[in-house]
């Protein structure tokens, strides 16, 4: 089902887009939880990480990680480190059911998460 992220992909609503490939789009989170908070999404609609399987989506997932590393370098947080998060389903607090990788950085994070 189409979400607000489909509208961002289709340029129907604005977003601060930082990176784009044929298959992947990355834009700044509207409610940042860290100095760098970017969402990396595939252009195809996949609701959550629970619908991922390696055979079908391995290439796409690899590309999302390539994009994350590339952006981390551009944002100057690659060496110091960063956090990549997929919230998947209700208990994880997923709000938008179009799979997205959070790239968070620019500060130190706690573990375990809240």
- Catalytic: 37? no
In whole angstroms, the minimum distance from the beta carbon of 88 to ligand AMP comes to: 8
Q: Which of 35, 62, 76, 93 binds ligand AMP (CB under 6 A)?
A: 93
Looking at beta carbons only, is 2 or 4 nearer to ligand AMP?
Answer: 4
CA-based nearest residue to 94, from 49, 57, 31, 63: 49
* CA within 13 Å, CB half, 53: 2
Q: How many residues bind ligand AMP (CB under 6 A)?
A: 12
**Is 96 one of the binding residues for ligand AMP (CB under 6 A)?**
yes
**Can you tell me the distance from the alpha carbon of 54 to that of 31, in angstroms, rounded to the nearest whole number?**
31
**For the chain, percent helix, then strand, then coil, each to nearest 5?**
30, 20, 50
**Is 4 one of the binding residues for ligand AMP (CB under 6 A)?**
yes
**Is 6 one of the binding residues for ligand AMP (CB under 6 A)?**
no
**Is 2 one of the binding residues for ligand AMP (CB under 6 A)?**
no
């Amino acid at each position: 089902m189409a979400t607000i992220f489909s509208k961002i992909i289709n340029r129907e609503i604005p977003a601060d887009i930082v990176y784009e490939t044929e298959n992947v789009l990355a834009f700044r989170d509207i409610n940042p939880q860290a100095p760098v908070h970017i969402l990396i999404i595939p252009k195809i609609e996949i609701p959550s990480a629970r619908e991922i399987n390696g055979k079908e989506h391995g290439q796409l997932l690899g590309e999302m990680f390539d994009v994350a590393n590339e952006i981390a370098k551009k944002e100057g947080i690659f060496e110091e480190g960063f956090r990549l998060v997929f919230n998947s389903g209700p208990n994880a607090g997923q709000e938008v059911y179009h799979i997205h990788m959070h790239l968070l950085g620019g500060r130190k994070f706690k573990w375990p998460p809240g």
